[in-house]
Amino acid sequence: MPRRVAILISGSGSNMVSLIKAMAGDPDITPVLVISNRASATGLDRAAELGVPTLTIDHANFANDRLAHEVAIQSALDEHRVDFICLAGFMRILSPGFIKKWPGKILNIHPSLLPKFKGLHTHERALAAGETYHGCSVHVVTASLDDGPILGQARCRIEPEDTPQSLAARVLPLEHKLYPAVLARFIRGDSSPVFLDG
């Protein structure tokens, strides 16, 4: 029986697309739901085009009540009998209570070589710090921000002429390769890290 995966997004969903396309050729895993916390997320249309059910649970409709928002998300996950969750540009911090319900079953991709540059503006911060390499990491989500066990990393060399925009443009294709590779192994119980060079 294939493991059932939900993908949570907030924007264009480019990593979501790479995950869905990779799962299409894998008999052991299937995407069953894409949830966005923003009705304007263009990734919803892209998911629908790929044949995956979509749902908007807009946090703006919950009057800043994070718990109520997460209850609605949990209800949708239960309804679709989800086994694993992939965060793909989901711009909401999940509460410890929500995460506790999914121990070791939520993955996230972050645009830095963790543990460096947790949080936002990673490309700018990598350049400001004079880093030689930059990249992305897939990790298990825990209650601490960007702090769970690392399951994979992909890196590229920072060039002297790089800007935050050019660096982001080179890291994104690495994300699209790394996330599906990690998920395919993780879903089969293999937590050994994947390392890619770009």
Q: How many CB atoms lie within 10 A of CB 73?
A: 21
Same domain, 153 and 93: no
- pLDDT tens, N- to C-terminus, the chain (198 residues): 999 999 999 999 999 999 999 999 899 999 999 999 999 999 999 999 999 999 999 999 998 899 999 999 999 999 999 999 999 999 999 999 999 999 999 999 999 999 999 999 999 999 999 999 999 999 999 999 999 999 999 999 999 999 999 999 999 999 999 999 999 999 999 999 999 998
CATH number at residue 190: 3.40.50.170
- The domain tally of the chain equals 2
Sole residue written with tokens 């990593």 = 15
Q: How many CB atoms lie within 10 A of CB 133?
A: 14
Residues classed as catalytic: 110
> What does residue 99 show for φ and ψ, rounded to 5 degrees?
-60, -35
Same domain, 142 and 88: no
Same domain, 94 and 129: no
Q: Which of 72, 102, 132 is the last residue of a domain?
A: 102
Range of the domain at 68: 1-102
